[in-house]
Structure 1
Amino acid sequence: MTADVPRRTTASRVTDRPGDASPFALGLLLRRAHWHAAAVMEEALRPLGIELRHFAVLIVLVDRGPTVQRDLVAATGSDKAGIMRVVDDLERKGLAVRKSVPGDRRVRAVEITPQGLELFDAAHVAAVPRAERLVAELRPGEVEQLTDLLTRFAHPAGGEA
């Protein structure tokens, strides 16, 4: 069985090196940037006893208030099993609790605890020097420019994410 694969003309083979002009270059560059940023932010969270996957859920809970697990799946880009493990971890650490949803005995909402809010605030304090280090190579004004560009890229005007 032969796939309809376009023949290669003059395009170079894809890499994620600076200056790559392939159609995959932007995605690969964004992936590399994410890995770098995630590693730096993990350093801030490690002494607090949580990982980025935990913090992603806390962000949603702080932003939205009590949230059902299926909505946490959508908001974090995780899967059901992954969210269950993260919520289990957060409950075990006293950072979140599951509560019944009035009118539906099968659904449980996850809510951040006061201890979870304290940790959320502590994580932001711990992240400041690391975030500064993360963008240390950028010139004045470029952090704001990068933030603006990535915001528009991640949240297009049409509402698609």
Structure 2
Amino acid sequence: MSADVPPATTASRATDRPGDPSPFALGLLLRRAHWHAAAVMTEALRPLGIELRHFAVLIVLVNQGPTVQRDLAAATGSDKAGIMRVVDDLERKGLAVRKAVPGDRRARAVEITPQGLELFDAAHAAAESPAERLIAELGPGEPELLTDLLTRFTHPGGGEA
């Protein structure tokens, strides 16, 4: 029994090399760009004792205020177990606390602490130099253009995250 496979074409196979014309090229390049940026930012956060997964939750807490774990998971692309581990870590470090949600005995909202806000600000300061290195190969105006393009790509129609 054979699967319905389209006939072979002479089109290039998907790669993440510059100039790849395949329909997968953009996604592969975005993945590689993410890996590169994540590695650089991970190193910037390491001296502060947190990882990108922790910082992602702190970003949500700063932007949205106290947030239930279910919504944190959705906002960070995590699963329930993963977000619980991250929040446990943040609580152990004194960067966030869980608080009861009025009207819902089972739900807990996660809230950033003053220490968490201090670390959030310190992380931004620590990331400045590595962020500059990330864009060092770009020409004048290109960092802003890249940011604009990625913003429009990830938020079609100008919608909020």
TM over 0.5: yes
Unmatched 5+ residue regions in structure 1?
none
1:38 is aligned with what amino acid?
Answer: A
Task: Map 1:16-95 to 2 at 5 A.
Answer: 16-95=16-95
**Residue 23 of structure 1: SS of its match in structure 2?**
coil
Residue 115 (1) aligns with residue 115 (2):
yes
Displacement of 1:158: 7.5
**Residue 38 of structure 2: SS of its match in structure 1?**
helix
Q: Aligned partners of 1:158 and 1:137: how far apart in 2?
A: 28
Q: Aligned partners of 2:137 and 2:84: how far apart in 1?
A: 38
What corresponds to 1:138 in structure 2?
138
Write out per-residue CA displacement over residues 23-56 of structure 1, whole angstroms, 9 at most, x where no aligned residue. 1000000000000000000111000000000000
CA RMSD of aligned residues (A): 1.3
**Residue 157 of structure 2: SS of its match in structure 1?**
coil
Residue 157 (1) aligns with residue 157 (2):
yes
1:32 is aligned with what amino acid?
Answer: R
**Residue 99 of structure 1: SS of its match in structure 2?**
strand
Displacement of 1:20: 0.5
Q: TM-score, normalised by structure 2?
A: 0.97
1:39 is aligned with what amino acid?
Answer: A
Write out per-residue CA displacement over residues 116-144 of structure 1, whole angstroms, 9 at most, x where no aligned residue. 00000000000000000010000010000
